[in-house]
């Protein structure tokens, strides 16, 4: 007798790529969303990957790609088949916003990034004197990206601020 498999079991979970400058908190975010606790991380050389589930009905795979300067040219290789792009910024680091803007512009200019929805996470909102999401949006010049659906959200990997909303919003971006 043959084995009957449902289409759901054969379906590969959508891929989400999470990028941003080094020390923005990408790995801390990934592990907090996956494990529910804060893990002390080291700078990512290469990538981390985890499967996440939202409300027991939506699965996706998140690729957290290292953000050091030498790693950024490799970001484009993770875009093929990607359903959503998450760009993480350290909203307490005003001095690196120009660098973040340039990195975002470069990756969104890649042919493989065309049409991929963008989620910008203004991380580290639990720290004093951080930029608001409006300031981050202005600094990154997000209004210029009218060719794609994009959202920006405040969050904190350490304090868990906004992480459930982040997961729900990523799931909605994937479906749109």
Active-site position among 53, 68, 164, 165 = 68
In terms of DSSP bridges, do strands 118-123 and 150-154 run parallel, antiparallel, or are they unpaired? Answer: parallel
Q: What is the pLDDT of residue 2?
A: 47
The domains of the chain are located at 19-174
User: pLDDT per position in the chain (176 positions), as tens?
Assistant: 444 544 555 578 899 999 999 999 999 999 888 888 777 777 777 788 888 877 777 788 999 998 888 889 999 999 999 999 999 999 999 999 999 999 999 999 999 999 999 999 999 999 999 999 999 999 999 999 999 999 999 999 999 999 989 989 998 888 87
Could you please report the per-residue DSSP string of 61-84?
Answer: EEEEE--STTTGGGGGGG-TTEEE
CATH fold, domain 19-174, is Rossmann fold (3.40.50)
Whether 53 is a known active-site residue: answer no
Q: Which residues are annotated as a binding site for Mg(2+)?
A: 27, 44
* Residues placed in the known binding site: 20-27, 44, 67, 123-126
């Amino acid at each position: 007798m043959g084995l009957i498999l449902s289409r759901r079991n054969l379906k590969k979970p959508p891929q989400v790529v999470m990028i941003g400058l080094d020390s923005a908190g990408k790995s801390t975010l990934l592990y907090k969303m996956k494990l529910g606790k804060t893990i002390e991380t080291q700078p990512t050389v290469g990538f981390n990957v985890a499967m996440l589930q939202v409300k027991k009905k939506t699965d996706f795979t998140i690729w957290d790609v290292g953000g050091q300067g030498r790693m950024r040219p490799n970001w484009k290789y993770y875009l093929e088949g990607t359903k959503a792009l998450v760009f993480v910024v350290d909203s307490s680091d005003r001095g690196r916003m120009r660098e973040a803007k340039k990195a975002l512009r470069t990756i969104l200019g890649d042919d493989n990034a065309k049409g991929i929805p963008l989620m910008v996470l203004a991380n580290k909102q639990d720290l004093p004197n951080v930029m608001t999401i409006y300031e981050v949006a202005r600094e990154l010049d997000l209004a210029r990206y009218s060719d794609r659906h994009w959202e920006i959200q405040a969050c904190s990997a350490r304090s868990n601020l906004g992480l459930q909303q982040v997961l729900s919003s990523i799931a909605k971006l994937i479906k749109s």
